Structure 1
Amino acid sequence: MLQNTSSGKSATIRSGTINLLNTIVGAGILAMPYGLKSNGLLFGCFLIIWSSLTSSFGLYLQSKIAKYTESHDSVSYFSLSQLTYPNLSIIFDSAIAIKCFGVGISYLVVIGDLMPKIMESAGVSSDSIFVNRNLWITVFMMAIVIPFSYLKKLDSLKYTSVVALFSVMYLICLVLEHYFFEDNGPAPEGIHWFGPISLKSTLVSFPIFVFSYTCHQNMFAIINELSPSEQDGSQTRQSNMIIRNAISISCSSYLLVGITGYLTFGESVNGNIISMYPKNSLSSLFGRLCIVIMVSLSYPLQCHPCRGSINHVIYYIKKGINDRKSSNTVREPGYSQLASDVESSNEADSSADTSFVSTTPVEGAQDSRGHYPIAVKLSKRNFYIITTSILFFSYVIACSVTSLERVLAFVGSTGSTSISFILPGLFGYLLIKPINGATELNKKEQLCKYGGLALSVWGLLVMILCLSATIFLGASE
């Protein structure tokens, strides 16, 4: 079997699916029964499926764009912006960094909120140090979050993702077990089988479905770490299979938990299904512990893209717009040349680590036509400084606050919609072009191009809707 193993590429369809799935399925699965309560069983299931389709189309466009940019080894939102609107790169990367940083903080807040309750359910006195939220944030930071956040390849997180997904599987089994075996009496009152309770309830709960499939910040990193092979096919084929697997499994999981959880508790269900089960139950206690494990192992998947985007923002601040426009390399239409890292290779040798693929492309990457550079160097020094800064500030903020719902609602409304819909759609519309000497787009290419434009418009509508719900109705992610 012929396979390209250069650049330390070790990702496979299986590992890519595991990491993408773990990025998708997080604590949001616990709110699915509440989402169905707010929208009715039938319409709520439609929203889950519709959100999966729009999200998967955004992921598909990312895979498609990677092919059209002719830079399979080095695709990122940064590299794409260099082909379209270079001066907006800092905005794109800032949105990704803020979104991922905010979600990472929320994971630590969940740990701090749940562990004291777990200790109390286990019989620990309320005066004990073991019910101190900051203690548990510190423990999980030191034991899990920090060590795994310093892993350099996204593919290296596949084993932690497996553990996190086992936690999700347990939660699903817990919900199913209570529905089929313990709470299998008559259906509770207040079940709305078809339409929503009200327009307000739909608007308030709509962000739950939209944000539950946000994983696009890691898609390019997965593509970059894939290698073409005779067995699995091209990078495009492999990435499409990863998208199909991850979206279908997550959608099925959301439907299972949403339907059975809602039918178990009816109108009394709240935004966290596991809090509905007896606190002193051993199975419920273990379920809460699974949530803590799941979010602590999911933090590195947010740190990874956040680090790469911050590296880009630092580059812009350091170099400035004028420096980016000046280059000794001859420019060609459609490319905004940046100061090439190759020009300072002697300096880079002492700090650069070319043994890994960061969230963004490999260091010094160029596309198939030799355009330099479409990636910003992530040196060892910057790698450790940025990672340490992310961990430190997220730890301080998580220990200082107890609720980030409203802040995360704003971040999610802007960051999630930008990453999931607006940017993939916009780049798809701008970059998809005839290939192989053709002068016109074929039907599939036209569908992707103009479908990308429609996805961007949808993203703008979703952003307006979610922001309005957050500001006027108090919705939160």
Structure 2
Amino acid sequence: MQMYTTRATPGTPTENETTPLLTNGSVPSRAKGASFASCVFNLMNAIMGSGILGLAYAMANTGIVGFCILLIIVSSLAAYSIHLLLKLCDQTGINSYEDLGGKALQKPGKVLVGITIIIQNIGAMSSYLFILKSELPAAISSFLSPDSTGNAWYEDGRLLLILVTLCIVLPLSMLPKIGFLGYTSSVAFFFMLYFAVVIVVKKWSIPCPLPHNVTTFSGAFQISNSSDSECTPKLFVISSKSAYAIPTMAFSFLCHTAILPIYCELDRPTKTRMQNVTNVSIGLSFLVYLISAVFGYLTFYSHVDSELLLGYGTYLPRDIMVMTVRLAIMLSVLLTVPLINFPARKAAILLLCGGRPFSWLIHIISTLTILGVVLLLAIFVPDISNVFGIVGSTTSSCLLFVFPGIFYLKISNQPLRSFDSIGAGFLVVFGLCVGLVSFVVIILTWVQGS
């Protein structure tokens, strides 16, 4: 598929944001691309994943006001960094993140960006499948009779993971265009929306102070030591755990590897149209994130779990809405994996095969290889949270903040005192600080825990 692009010429304004992008100065014939709504759903699916389960925990460690301020900052910077990427795409005619790295930093930049995308996306896909391996057997068991015991096949998380990967993830990952995933992305979004609705409704089903003695559906007996003083929401909280808040939010809004592939397949692609797709997607994701975090925090307060649904499984073990939303979140995560696989495969093919024409053989081999690595990591690594926490804190910050800022400063012909150049410099500094701090905190926590 050819992309429409506008190339900036000396003595003319940067780009016309309301006209289709041209290739070689003329408008070629182009098949109808993905609709605006389909691109919005795809981008929202790339944004929203398992990160939604950890935002209430982030709010508990930053306070309601502190969390809202940080969420606004991170979401705004995410939208702004996408704005810089789209400007560069229009100015240069380049339609891939990796090639922008090559334009800015020559071949080492292209390789660095490609490797970063592959590591980030493999880490994200592995963490998603790891969640499925851990939670899917329990979710299935919750729908069955509590008297049913034994080693049934559906209680083996590894077997279930292999089955869903072969039956659902692999066929969707084989699709050649990211626009085809618009339908599954819309389903995944409504699952996330249902999650937010259930969190709001169940706010009034769990009393505060929390019950002292509770029994989970698995028979585990737990004790909670809540007191009336803990039922008061805190506006600001500063602790060592607060350092996890921004990396969690950065991970929750990271969609930059999918931006340009979605832009390439957008019907009537212009920078303004794609920026509108971005703004709508980030805006809706922001609302769902905020609602889920606020009501999740106001349900458990300081006792909110790092994975929000675990608390509901403890205090409402047989609640039908909790059981269905647990299954819905896992299906949403499952449908996100093929979307994350697309840019990872694209980066791998670009690094290994260059600009060769599309080949089904290369497409199939690369898809099977990436999913094989992801599946092996999810099955055999006993605890990947720390490993991918370190990888995510570095690669997420680079892809979200550092790379867009550096690329704009290196490629754009705007003066250094222009608004976008100053903003790009701020992104680089902010991203480096966030990445360094989160990396150090995770390492220290890891060492202390050991």
Deviates more, 1:183-192 or 1:449-458: 183-192
2:193 maps to which residue? 169
2:306 maps to which residue? 271
1:153 maps to which residue? 177
CA distance in 1, matches of 2:136, 2:28: 43
TM superposition score normalised by structure 2 = 0.83
Query: CA 1:6/1:394 → structure 2, altered by over 3 Å: closer, same or farther?
Result: farther
CA distance in 2, matches of 1:24, 1:5: 32
- Among 252, 260, 281, the residue aligned to 1:212: 252
2:129 maps to which residue? 108
Shift in Å at residue 125 of structure 1? 2.2
Counterparts of residues 70-149 of structure 1 (less than 5 Å): 71=93, 74-88=94-108, 89-122=110-143, 123=145, 124-149=148-173
One-letter identity of the residue aligned with 2:379 = C
Counterparts of residues 286-365 of structure 1 (less than 5 Å): 286-315=324-353
Query: CA 1:161/1:189 → structure 2, altered by over 3 Å: closer, same or farther?
Result: farther
Q: Contact 2:233–2:298 at 8 Å: present in 1 too? A: no
Shift in Å at residue 454 of structure 1? 1.5
Q: Contact 2:74–2:246 at 8 Å: present in 1 too? A: no
1:450 maps to which residue? 422
CA distance in 1, matches of 2:429, 2:358: 34
Query: CA 1:185/1:413 → structure 2, altered by over 3 Å: closer, same or farther?
Result: closer
Deviates more, 1:446-455 or 1:184-193: 184-193
Shift in Å at residue 119 of structure 1? 2.5
Query: CA 1:458/1:376 → structure 2, altered by over 3 Å: closer, same or farther?
Result: farther
Q: Deviations over 1:274-333 (max 9, x none)?
A: 2212121111111111111011100011110000111122147xxxxxxxxxxxxxxxxx
CA distance in 2, matches of 1:468, 1:397: 24
1:254 maps to which residue? 289
CA distance in 1, matches of 2:68, 2:446: 23
Query: CA 1:91/1:172 → structure 2, altered by over 3 Å: closer, same or farther?
Result: same
2:220 maps to which residue? none
Shift in Å at residue 115 of structure 1? 1.1
- Among 63, 69, 72, the residue aligned to 1:46: 69
Question: Secondary structure of the residue that 1:250 maps to in structure 2?
Answer: helix
Give me the CA root mean square deviation.
Answer: 2.3
CA distance in 2, matches of 1:40, 1:398: 33
Q: Contact 1:120–1:126 at 8 Å: present in 2 too? A: no
Q: Deviations over 1:133-154 (max 9, x none)?
A: 0121022112210110001111
CA distance in 1, matches of 2:446, 2:236: 22
CA distance in 1, matches of 2:64, 2:391: 28
Q: Deviations over 1:407-450 (max 9, x none)?
A: 1112111211111111111111122226xxxxx79x8xx21122
Query: CA 1:268/1:186 → structure 2, altered by over 3 Å: closer, same or farther?
Result: closer
Shift in Å at residue 41 of structure 1? 1.2
In percent, how many aligned pairs have the same letter? 26
- Paired residues in the alignment total 399
- Among 207, 223, 226, the residue aligned to 2:266: 226
Shift in Å at residue 212 of structure 1? 1.0
Counterparts of residues 385-464 of structure 1 (less than 5 Å): 385-433=365-413, 446-464=418-436
Q: Contact 2:397–2:432 at 8 Å: present in 1 too? A: yes
CA distance in 1, matches of 2:326, 2:280: 27
Q: Deviations over 1:242-280 (max 9, x none)?
A: 111011111111110111111111111111222212121
Query: CA 1:408/1:312 → structure 2, altered by over 3 Å: closer, same or farther?
Result: same
CA distance in 2, matches of 1:45, 1:184: 25
Query: CA 1:401/1:126 → structure 2, altered by over 3 Å: closer, same or farther?
Result: farther
One-letter identity of the residue aligned with 1:300 = P
For structure 2, the 5+ residue unaligned runs are 1-18, 21-26, 211-227
CA distance in 2, matches of 1:137, 1:194: 41
2:82 maps to which residue? 59
2:215 maps to which residue? none
- Among 27, 31, 43, the residue aligned to 1:20: 43
The answer to whether residue 60 in structure 2 is matched with residue 37 in structure 1 is: yes
CA distance in 1, matches of 2:238, 2:408: 37
TM superposition score normalised by structure 1 = 0.79
Shift in Å at residue 14 of structure 1? 1.4
Q: Contact 1:90–1:312 at 8 Å: present in 2 too? A: no
One-letter identity of the residue aligned with 1:111 = L
1:364 maps to which residue? none
CA distance in 2, matches of 1:274, 1:189: 24
2:219 maps to which residue? none
Q: Deviations over 1:107-137 (max 9, x none)?
A: 1111111111113222342522210001210
CA distance in 1, matches of 2:28, 2:296: 45
Query: CA 1:189/1:155 → structure 2, altered by over 3 Å: closer, same or farther?
Result: farther
One-letter identity of the residue aligned with 1:99 = Q
Q: Deviations over 1:381-412 (max 9, x none)?
A: 21111011111221222221242101111211
Query: CA 1:388/1:469 → structure 2, altered by over 3 Å: closer, same or farther?
Result: same
Question: Secondary structure of the residue that 1:196 maps to in structure 2?
Answer: coil
